[in-house]
Structure 1
Amino acid sequence: MTETAFDTAERQAWAGQAAAYAASFAKLCAYPVPALLRAAGVGEGVRLLDVGTGTGTVAVAAGARGAKVTAVDAEPGMVARAAREAPRADVRCAALPHLPFADGEFDAVVGNFVLNHVGRPRAALAELARVTRPGGRVAVTVWAAPAAPGQALLGRAVQAAGVTRPAHLPPLAAEDDFPRTEQGLAALLERAGLRDGDCETLRWDHRTTPEEWWSGPAAGVATIGQVVTGQTPAVIARIKEHFVTLAAEFAGDDGTLVLPHAALLAHGRAAS
């Protein structure tokens, strides 16, 4: 299966971004990890594959539960950082939808927000199921849509500045997309061959500072960062002005931002 234009853009967007991600969005993405590991039944001696490990947050947490952790990421910088953070894990460079593992090699497989970054989500899920032993658990998270207010903040600032998504950042193809709802993600698991699926919505307030929250897009992290850094300095300044204004809606008395977020957590079992 060939790489899609979306996959290519994602590789380019995340290249060399491990440090900037760790300093900005990584703490946000860490919130679902305990629930994700519970959904996958991760505990002592479980052979776990963490796909899209990023800076290694899931791998570290799973190792603390006594799991035998293998972790992969498509970005070499993320792999290097995750290997430092989780020295007991087997951390490798690999990308969906083709993983370098045998059928049924793992007791459980997890992907924390990895489906947001692949061009063919159903094929990616089918690959997660392939490397899971029969009856083993697969658990994944994706961002819910429509986005929660805190998650929408940066996009609102871009829109207020009159900026649209550049042509070199293609959206997911319509035939590969799915509703980012509990029903939509559960249906995707079923189409990928997973059984006994279930999905729930996780909601939380992410606490950060305006400076930290702006640092991610300012460094080009993720699609929003690619949109921001692809503009002229004058337009970037205009986006930031709108961000500062809109961020005041979420500011506490001490200036900390309290950003409501929502993600979907789904899990199922590999077919016997």
Structure 2
Amino acid sequence: MAKDFDLYERELWDGRAAAYERGFAHVTRYMVGPLLDAAGVADGTRFLDVGTGPGFVALEAGWRGAAVSAMDAEPGMAETARRNVPGLDVRVAVLPEVPFADGEFDAVAGNFVINHVGDPGRALAELRRVLRPGGRLALSCWVMPGSGVLAIVRQAIEEAGVPWPDDIPEAPFMEYGEAVAFRRLVREAGFGEVAVEEVSWEHVVDPDEWWKTGALSRVGTNGVIVGRQDAKTVARIKGAYDAIVSGYPAKDGRVALPAHALLAGGVR
């Protein structure tokens, strides 16, 4: 029987801050600039970084001159963000909890966090609450179901004949991982001037390093599934992974893996 999604997420990310910073954070970092642009973050902006992770969004917002606060559900992530952004005001809180006052911020942004909450609508309502009238929201998420860099390990798991575990829940956000549905979700939370665009880029990486990141680090559900298998099954998944990766452009031992995300913006 599948677990409660929010409970599963807390177990999934517990103690994974360092592994995330070494691996997946290098993919999601591509969206930091576009996210802050969509939120209108500039000198003097009172800004909240939701799901700060290693703090890369908060760091760039500070470079732009914003007054930055941050939050993350995982204490290890909050600690990492404090290390990377000295003096950062970062709180540990699980969406939809947002431990800030009504109208406290000019801009709120979350980089690949809305797809990790059990009730995206309630989370959006809370993010709207802490924005001043006219304040801007910006959120990124993966195009779903995942493709390219996000889906290679999942595809290898499937091709190796490993079934999806009964106790792992599907993300409630799955139905919103395309532009029309994501736009509707943000509008229904009360935001105006809602726009959603698809952003694509290439993540160039050593394929063995990406195998470690996506399969052996236990970051994300794919990593959890691979981590449960015996050595023979892991080798079978790795063989399928190698075959899949060989189909992507390669140079100097690295491959260019496509990444596809959605970027949503709106105004309170």
What band does the TM-score fall into relative to the shorter chain?
over 0.9
Contact 2:179–2:196 (8 Å) recurs in 1: yes
Q: How does 1:52-91 map to 2 (within 5 A)?
A: 52-91=51-90
Q: Distance in 1 between matches of 2:108 and 2:79?
A: 21
Q: How does 1:22-101 map to 2 (within 5 A)?
A: 22-101=21-100
Matched, 1:178 2:178: no
Aligned AA for 2:217?
A
Higher mean displacement: 131-140 or 229-238:
229-238
Q: Distance in 1 between matches of 2:58 and 2:104?
A: 17
Structure 1 residue 146: deviation in Å? Answer: 4.0
Contact 1:182–1:200 (8 Å) recurs in 2: yes
Contact 1:142–1:265 (8 Å) recurs in 2: yes
Query: Which TM-score applies when normalising by structure 1?
Result: 0.93
Deviations 1:218-267 (A, max 9, x none): 01001111111122222122111211221111241312010011100001
Contact 1:137–1:267 (8 Å) recurs in 2: yes
Q: Distance in 2 between matches of 1:147 and 1:79?
A: 27
Deviations 1:83-113 (A, max 9, x none): 0101132112111001111111111100101
Which runs of no fewer than 5 residues in structure 2 stay unpaired?
none
Between the two proteins, the alignment pairs up a number of residues equal to 265
Q: Distance in 2 between matches of 1:13 and 1:150?
A: 20
- Equivalence for 1:224: 222
- Equivalence for 2:245: 247
Query: Which TM-score applies when normalising by structure 2?
Result: 0.95
Matched, 1:210 2:215: no
Identity of aligned residues (%): 46
Matched, 1:188 2:189: no
- Equivalence for 1:142: 141
Q: Distance in 2 between matches of 1:246 and 1:228?
A: 17
Structure 1 residue 177: deviation in Å? Answer: 4.9
- Output the aligned Cα RMSD: 1.4
Q: Distance in 1 between matches of 2:203 and 2:193?
A: 31
- Equivalence for 1:235: 233
Contact 1:63–1:89 (8 Å) recurs in 2: no
Structure 1 residue 31: deviation in Å? Answer: 0.5
Give the SS at the match of 2:167.
Answer: coil
Give the SS at the match of 1:260.
Answer: strand
Higher mean displacement: 25-34 or 212-221:
212-221
Q: Which ranges of 4 or more aligned residues in structure 1 deviate by more than 4 Å?
A: none
Alignment partner of 2:261 out of 250, 260, 263? 263
Contact 2:115–2:174 (8 Å) recurs in 1: no
Which runs of no fewer than 5 residues in structure 1 stay unpaired?
none
Contact 2:176–2:185 (8 Å) recurs in 1: no
Contact 1:194–1:269 (8 Å) recurs in 2: yes
Contact 2:139–2:265 (8 Å) recurs in 1: yes
